[in-house]
Amino acid sequence: MAIFKKRQQLKADVPAHIAIVMDGNGRWAQKRGLPRTAGHTAGAANFKKITMYAAKIGVKYLTLYTFSTENWRRSDDEVGALMRLFKQYLEEALRDFLEENIKVNFLGDTEAFNDELKALIEDVKEVSRNRTGMVLNLAMNYGGRAEIAHAVNEALKDNHGCITEEDISKHLYTAGMPDPDLIIRPSGEMRISNFLLWQGAYSEFLFLSTLWPDFKPADLDSAIIEFNRRSRRFGGA
């Protein structure tokens, strides 16, 4: 509570864009003798809590890594459970975020999902299209390398000459948004796992041992305080 009150007085210090790798669900469940799917359910509940809290404290863009292009390699049972959870996520977004001024956006190749999920994705985008509050980016079937390849191919359609960094940037899934200031990865893993490879060039990274279902608003507060201790030079002296 003291941390939150302190930052209420320093709202300008809240990073505009925070990205989080929601990692550690399976290990959370295994530590408790539960199936991995139980961890994903716990992680889904935490997704709602952290999203609401981030909007409350003034984060302008929140990007959550929910399912990577590589996650299709997991067992059929686990992938099936994740697809059911995504359906639940989206149905709850339509219901629970109805009164919230949160705009929901999707990063990744959503054409890979079944027709029911694709229809829900379009419904969520349409319902939240004109909202002016925090932008919630859900990275679903997302891969950083695939995103860059997609952006280059789209840039080539527009420009048959020399492709610049700006040409690529305007065709990324996050076109028009600021790059993340802070990328957080709970779970103890210390790698970026193909997440926001282009956008994270000058992001501050914070790796935590906490597993995602145990990641609390106080952990987000602490991460923001750590972010403000750092000096960002963007390659300068």
Domain of 110, CATH number, reads 3.40.1180.10
Q: How many distinct structural domains can be found in the chain?
A: 1
**Confidence category of residue 197, pLDDT binned at 50, 70, 90:** very high
Distance from C-alpha of 105 to C-alpha of 84, rounded to nearest angstrom: 19
- The whole-number average pLDDT for the span 18-39 is 91
Residue, of 88 and 60, whose pLDDT is higher? 60
Position 97 in a domain = yes
Range of the domain at 114: 17-227
Residue, of 100 and 159, whose pLDDT is higher? 100
Q: Across the chain, what does the average pLDDT equal?
A: 89
Position 193 in a domain = yes
In the residue annotation, 141 being an active-site residue is answered as no
pLDDT of 3 reads 52
Position 152 in a domain = yes
Encode pLDDT of 140-171 as tens digits. Answer: 999 999 999 999 999 998 876 788 999 999 99
Distance from C-alpha of 181 to C-alpha of 147, rounded to nearest angstrom: 19
Position 113 in a domain = yes
In the residue annotation, 71 being an active-site residue is answered as yes
Residues sharing a CB contact under 8 Å with residue 223, sequence separation 6 or more, in sequence order: 18, 182, 184, 206, 208
Write down the catalytic residue from 13, 46, 71, 194.
Answer: 71
pTM of the model: 0.88
pLDDT of 237 reads 59
Position 84 in a domain = yes
Position 9 in a domain = no
Position 12 in a domain = no
